[in-house]
Amino acid sequence: MAMDPEGGFGQIMSMARGFQVAKMLMVAVDLGLFDFLAEPKSAVETAAWLKADARGAGIFLNGLAALGLVDKSGDYFKNSELASRYLVQGSENYRGAIIKHIEHTWERGWKDLKETVLLGHPPQADPEKWLDARPERDEAEVRAFTWGMHAIARDLAPQVAARLDLSGVRRLLDLGGGPATYAINFAQANPGLQATVFDLPMPLEIARENIGKNGLTDRVGALAGNFLQDDIGTGYDFIWISQILHSHDEGQCRFIIAKAVAALAPGGALAIQDFYLNADGVSPAGAAMFGVHMLAVTPRGRAYTHDEVAAWMQAAGLATPEFIQSGMDASILVAKKR
């Protein structure tokens, strides 16, 4: 689905058809097609495996080949290099959870986008109840969401661990740490460090699985709670908050930052990673698009500028934050407690 290089009407058509590509990928992942197409199969064999109509399967496979998700040779279809790298269940590198999570966000808000834009918040959300920013969802959704976060963070976390100076840090808190991807990488890169992952009970089950898989149960602990209501502990040398602020409103963000600063030991540091916007509100494009995603799926979340968050950090008693570009659209603000 190449954009029209001339910037003509073809570009508008590519945008309008964007959902077709997304839906094809989601259906293929949901059907587990890439598990079956690890070896070359015909459309008839694929239809039999799916217990599906041969016409539907044949047309769909040709479409997936056009997208580059499968390769076609004669009458046979097989995973492309890209699909075999990321979309085969059971492989250690499987990233299907994030595709399933993105699909869930259609029902969770995107389908109501017009009403949301007109109202300023999703129609089903009560913006007055600021504690319900993240209602507990059903287990399958939470699993897809939490392993989906791991699918995104697993490439970035080792780079972040290499960039942050955690040399003197003994106790680290990963607040809203989800699958514990960052806590695990921080512990692996810093042998003297003990980490605690704080999150709601369901995501913490996945954190525990991930910590166990990495053989770090003695150095990375899990603490269950709601950080808007419950005690998060105290005396930490370093607190890491990644991809949390954007799903909360400004008052909640200030509350979370103040709570983290209060939980730091004297001289400790707080680092906050997010999809920060530049002052123009438009760039980087990934952050602006993420802002729309938060409008669609949260009661009062949005993307914040690094200037806004830096000001809240200083108001909460931190020194002037240092800015670190971590991913293509993600960046970190880090500052010591004054």
What are the Cα distances from residue 160, in Å, to 173, 180, 325? 15, 14, 9
Contact (Cβ atoms closer than 8 angstroms) between residue 171 and residue 142: no
Output 228 or 324, the one with its CB closest to ligand SAM. Answer: 228
Nearer to ligand SAM, 61 or 263 (CB): 263
Least CB distance to ligand SAM at residue 173 (A)? 11
Question: β-strand 322-325 against 220-224: which pairing, if any?
Answer: unpaired
Distance in Å, CB of 336 to ligand SAM, minimum: 21
Rounded CA separation 71/59 (Å): 14
Question: For residue 234, how many other CB atoms are within 10 A of its CB?
Answer: 11
> Tell me, what amino acid is at 108?
R
In a 13 Å sphere around the CA of 3, the CA atoms on its Cβ side amount to: 6
What minimum distance in Å lies between the beta carbon of 169 and ligand SAM? 17
Q: Which residues bind ligand SAM (CB under 6 A)?
A: 134, 146, 149, 153, 176-178, 181, 199-200, 203, 226-228, 242-244
Tell me how far, at minimum, the Cβ of 102 lies from ligand SAM, in Å. 13
Nearer to ligand SAM, 46 or 181 (CB): 181
**Least Å distance between CB 289 and ligand SAM?**
15
Least distance CB 227 / ligand SAM (angstroms): 4
Q: Between 35 and 141, name the residue whose CB sits nearer to ligand SAM.
A: 141
Q: Which is nearer to ligand SAM, 199 or 237 (CB)?
A: 199
* CB contact at 8 A, 80 and 71: yes
Cα-Cα-Cα-Cα torsion 33, 38, 39, 45, nearest 10 degrees, comes to: -10
DSSP 321-334: PEEEE-SSS-EEEE
Cβ at position 153, least distance to ligand SAM in Å = 4
CA distance 250 to 246: 9
CB of 12 to ligand SAM, least distance (A): 32
Nearer to ligand SAM, 38 or 324 (CB): 324
Do 254 and 316 touch, CB atoms closer than 8 A? yes
Closer residue to ligand SAM in complex, CB, 58/176: 176
Least CB distance from residue 219 to ligand SAM, whole Å? Answer: 18
Whole-Å CA distances, 247 to 141, 252, 272, 283: 17, 9, 14, 19
Q: Kind of pairing, strands 70-73 and 41-42?
A: unpaired
Tokens of 22: 């997304």
* Nearer to ligand SAM (CB atom), residue 150 or residue 219: 150
Phi-psi region of 197 (alpha: psi -120 to 50; beta: other; left: phi over 0): beta
Which of 63/327 has CB closer to ligand SAM?
Answer: 327
Q: How far apart are CA 278 and CA 4, in angstroms?
A: 28
For helices 18-31 and 9-16, what crossing angle results, to 10°? 30
